[in-house]
A and B are shown apart, each in its own frame.
Chain A
Amino acid sequence: MAPTSTGSAVTAAGGSLRRSRPRYGERVIEILLLIAALVSVATTIGILIAVFVPAQEFFAKISFKEFFTGTRWTPLFSDPSYGVLPLVAATLVVTLLAMLVAIPLGLGAAVYLSEYAADRTRSILKPALEILAGIPTVVYGFFALKGITPLLQDIWPFGQGPRVFNALVAGFVMGIMIIPTVASLSEDAMSAVPRTLRDGAYALGSSKMLVATRIVVPAAVSGIIAAFVLGFSRAIGETMIVTIAGGGQANLSWNPLEGMLTMTAFIAQAGSGDVPVGSIDYKTIFAVASLLFLITFALNLFSIRLVRKFREVYE
C-alpha cells in the first residue's frame, strides 16, 4: 500500500495572491457535501432511537435482572418468561462453531495468498473468495438446511444424528461464509508487513514457513486479530442462516446437534410475524436488538482500533 497524500493537501487553494470576490457557490456546495456526509451520522442516531427507545419501555416493565439472568425465553406463551440467556447461549454456540471453521481456514487462506501464491494463482483465487462473500446468506441457509443437514443425518456414524434444525450445520456454513472476511482483512495486514523484515529473516537462513509463522504473522498480529474480531461480529449479527437452518425454539443447551434460537433469529422470526405493535411482545424484539447492537458495536470499535494501530506502525 503506497503512502497516499490525500486531498487535504489541496486545501491550500486559499493562498491566492489577490483576494478575489467571495465565491458563495463554492461555499454552498461544501455545505451540501457536509450534509451528505452527515446522513451517516443521522443513520447512527436513527438506529439508537429505533433500538433503545422501545427497549427502554421494555425494561420499564421487565427488570434487568429477569432479562439477563432468566433461563427461559418464552415471550409468546400465555405464561411469558423473559430470560435472554438461551438466546445468548445459542448465539455463542453457533458463533463459536463458525469461528472454529473461519479462523484456521481464513488465516490459512490469507497466509497462502500473501506469502505463497504466484500472481496468476492469486488472480484466480481472490475473485473466487470474493464470490463466496457475495453469495446471499439466504442461499447459504437453503444449502445448509436442504443440502448439508440431510446428508449429515444419513452418514452420521454414532447414535442420534443432528436434528432437521441444528446449530452444528448452521455454525459450519456460517464459518464458511465468514472465511472471506477473515482472509481478506488478514491478508491486508500481512501485505502491510515491510519486505525488509522478510528479507532479514531469509538472510538469517529461515525457510519460507518460518518466515510466514515467525515473522509475518506476528508482525501483522493486530490486523489479524482485528480480522477475527470483525468476523466474530459478523457471525453474531448474521441472521438468515440461523433463521433458516438453526431452529425456531429457544433452547438453553450446549448440544450443537439440537436446534436453538439465536438473538438474530428471534428478531427475524418475531419481527416478521403478526405481533401487535406496542405490545410487550413487540418490545421484546427491541430489547434483544439493543443487546445485539451493543455487543457488535463494542466488537467493531475494538476491531477498528486494532486496524488503526497496525496502519500506524507500518505506513
Chain B
Amino acid sequence: MTATLPNPTRLPQQPDLRGTRRPIRETVFRVCLQASLLIAVSFLAVLLVYVVWTALPRLDMDLLRNMPSTLRPGTAGAQSAIMGTLWVITLTALFTVPIGVMSAIYLEEYADQAKWWNRMIEINIQNLAAVPSIVYGILGLGVIARRLGLGLTVLSAAITLSLLVLPVVIISAREAIRAVPSSIRFGSLALGATKWQTIWKQVLPAAVPGTATGSILALSRAIGEAAPLLLLGALAYISFNPDGVLSQFTVLPVQIYDFIKQSREEFVPLASAAIVVLLVLLLAMNSIAIFLRNKFQRRW
C-alpha cells in the first residue's frame, strides 16, 4: 500500500495513518450523536423518576382494593380499571394471536407472491400497522359497537384492540416463521409428511419463541392504548368489575386519563399511582417476552 501521506516530510517517522487533521470535528460529531441518544434515554429516566416520586403517597393497598371515585381521591383506587384491563387484554390475546399466526402461516407458507391479491394483503397489513389508533376507535364505534350491535362492552373493546395489534402480531410471527430454515421443511417433506404436517409438527414449534415474544410485545401495546377505548365508551369511575364479555367496563389508561383531567391536586398522586400499576403490568409482560426470547431462541 503506497498511500500518499498528507505531509511527505514526515515519512521517515512512524507513518501515522490515523487522520491527524481534524480530530476536533470528529470528536464534536461523535459527541453530538451520543448526546441525541443521551437526551432520549435521560428523558425516559426523568419521566420514570417523576412518576414514581409523585406516586409515592398513594402507592398503597387502597389502590388495588378500592374503586375509582371522584369524591374521595385520598382513598380512591383503580380496581375496576385493573380488572377491566385484564378482561380486555385476555380476550384480545384469545382473538388476535390465533388469527395473527394463521395469517402469518398463510403469507409465509402458502401465498404465491406473484398473485396480486397476496401482494395486496401484504401492503394492506403494512398500511394497517400505521393507521392511527383513534381511527380504530372509529371502527369500533361505528361498525363493531353500532352496526354489529355489540354495544359499548368488553367484547367490542377486545375486538377493536385485536384488530389494532393484529398487523404487529402478523409481522412478528412472519419473521419467526421465516427464520426457520428451509432444510427443516425439506427434511420433513422428504420423509413423506404432508405440507400441513410439516408446518404443524416442524415449522410452528420452531417458531413458537419468536411468535410468543412478538405477540406479548403487541399485547403490551394494546394494554397502554387509551384513544380507541375512549370512543368505545370505556367509562371512568365504574364501581364494579366486569362480570362477562358483555359487561360495561373501564381500563387503566382511560381511568388514568380521567384522573389527569380532574383539577384537584389530590388526583395527581392518584394518577401517578395508577400509572405505576400500568407500568408494572407492562414490565411484567416485557420480562416474560425477554425471558422467552433468551430461553428458547435457537440459532440455526
B78 at the interface (CB under 8 A from A): no
Task: Name the B residues within 8 Å of A140 (CB-CB).
Answer: 47
Most A C-beta atoms less than 10 A away, residue of B25, B41, B279: B41
A240 touching B227 in the complex, CB below 8 Å, given contacts A6-B108, A207-B22: yes
Q: Are B257 and A244 in contact (CB under 8 A)?
A: yes
Query: A116 CA to B257 CA in the complex, in Å?
Result: 40
Task: Name the A residues within 8 Å of B120 (CB-CB).
Answer: 41
B141 at the interface (CB under 8 A from A): yes
Interface flags for B259-300 (1: CB within 8 Å of A; 0: not) read 011000000100110010011001000100000000000000
Q: A234's closest neighbor in chain B, by CB?
A: B130
Q: Are B256 and A142 in contact (CB under 8 A)?
A: yes
Q: B265's closest neighbor in chain A, by CB?
A: A146
Our pick among A36, A44, A104 for the contact of B124 (Cβ within 8 Å) is A44
Query: A297 CA to B132 CA in the complex, in Å?
Result: 9
A residues adjacent to B (C-beta < 8 A): 4-11, 13, 23, 25-26, 29-30, 32-34, 36-41, 43-44, 46-47, 49-51, 53-54, 104-109, 111-113, 116, 125, 128-129, 131-132, 134-143, 145-147, 176, 179-180, 183, 205, 207-209, 212-213, 230, 233-234, 236-240, 243-244, 264, 267-268, 271-272, 277, 285-286, 289, 292-293, 296-297, 299-301, 303-304
Our pick among A43, A106, A143 for the contact of B139 (Cβ within 8 Å) is A43
Our pick among B29, B36, B170 for the contact of A105 (Cβ within 8 Å) is B36
Q: B261's closest neighbor in chain A, by CB?
A: A244
Q: B181's closest neighbor in chain A, by CB?
A: A5
Query: A4 CA to B125 CA in the complex, in Å?
Result: 20
Chain B nearest CB from A172 CB (Å) reads 10
Task: Name the A residues within 8 Å of B33 (CB-CB).
Answer: 108-109, 111-112, 116
A129 touching B130 in the complex, CB below 8 Å, given contacts A38-B121, A145-B260: no
Q: Are B99 and A36 in contact (CB under 8 A)?
A: yes
A300 touching B130 in the complex, CB below 8 Å, given contacts A39-B103, A112-B36, A142-B271: yes
Task: Name the B residues within 8 Å of A292 (CB-CB).
Answer: 132, 134-135
Query: A51 CA to B138 CA in the complex, in Å?
Result: 7
B residues 111-129 in Cβ contact with A at 8 Å: 111-113, 120-121, 123-128
Chain B nearest CB from A49 CB (Å) reads 6
Task: Name the A residues within 8 Å of B125 (CB-CB).
Answer: 40
Task: Name the B residues within 8 Å of A286 (CB-CB).
Answer: 138, 142
Query: A237 CA to B127 CA in the complex, in Å?
Result: 13
Closest 4 CB pairs of A and B: A237-B132, A136-B224, A108-B36, A50-B142
Q: Are A147 and B106 in contact (CB under 8 A)?
A: no
Our pick among A50, A147, A207 for the contact of B138 (Cβ within 8 Å) is A50
Task: Name the A residues within 8 Å of B130 (CB-CB).
Answer: 230, 233-234, 296, 299-300, 303
Task: Name the B residues within 8 Å of A113 (CB-CB).
Answer: 37
B residues adjacent to A (C-beta < 8 A): 3, 19, 22, 25-26, 29-30, 32-37, 39-41, 43-44, 47, 50-51, 54, 98-99, 102-103, 105-113, 120-121, 123-128, 130-139, 141-144, 146-147, 163, 166-167, 170, 177-178, 182, 185-186, 189, 194-196, 198, 217, 220-221, 223-227, 230-231, 233, 253, 256-257, 260-261, 268, 271-272, 275, 278-279, 282, 286
Q: Are B189 and A13 in contact (CB under 8 A)?
A: yes
Q: B236's closest neighbor in chain A, by CB?
A: A272
Q: Are A40 and B124 in contact (CB under 8 A)?
A: yes
Q: Are B142 and A209 in contact (CB under 8 A)?
A: no
Our pick among A5, A112, A138, A289 for the contact of B37 (Cβ within 8 Å) is A112
How many A-B residue pairs lie within 8 Å, measured between CB atoms? 284
Query: A8 CA to B166 CA in the complex, in Å?
Result: 23
A239 touching B227 in the complex, CB below 8 Å, given contacts A23-B194, A37-B121, A125-B37: yes
A4 touching B40 in the complex, CB below 8 Å, given contacts A209-B25, A289-B138: no
Our pick among B40, B50, B196 for the contact of A29 (Cβ within 8 Å) is B196
Query: A286 CA to B253 CA in the complex, in Å?
Result: 23
Q: Are B25 and A131 in contact (CB under 8 A)?
A: no
Query: A41 CA to B105 CA in the complex, in Å?
Result: 16
Our pick among A7, A205, A297 for the contact of B109 (Cβ within 8 Å) is A7
Query: A303 CA to B18 CA in the complex, in Å?
Result: 39
Our pick among B143, B196, B217, B279 for the contact of A49 (Cβ within 8 Å) is B143
Q: Are A10 and B186 in contact (CB under 8 A)?
A: yes
Task: Name the A residues within 8 Å of B128 (CB-CB).
Answer: 40, 43-44
Q: Are B44 and A128 in contact (CB under 8 A)?
A: yes
Task: Name the A residues within 8 Å of B111 (CB-CB).
Answer: 8, 37
Q: List 13 A-B contacts (CB under 8 A).
A: A7-B178, A7-B182, A7-B185, A8-B112, A23-B194, A43-B139, A54-B142, A129-B37, A136-B278, A138-B224, A139-B51, A293-B132, A296-B132
Query: A25 CA to B257 CA in the complex, in Å?
Result: 50
Query: A132 CA to B43 CA in the complex, in Å?
Result: 9
Our pick among A30, A237, A243 for the contact of B135 (Cβ within 8 Å) is A237
Query: A233 CA to B133 CA in the complex, in Å?
Result: 12
Q: Are B166 and A272 in contact (CB under 8 A)?
A: no
Query: A301 CA to B37 CA in the complex, in Å?
Result: 29
Chain B nearest CB from A86 CB (Å) reads 18
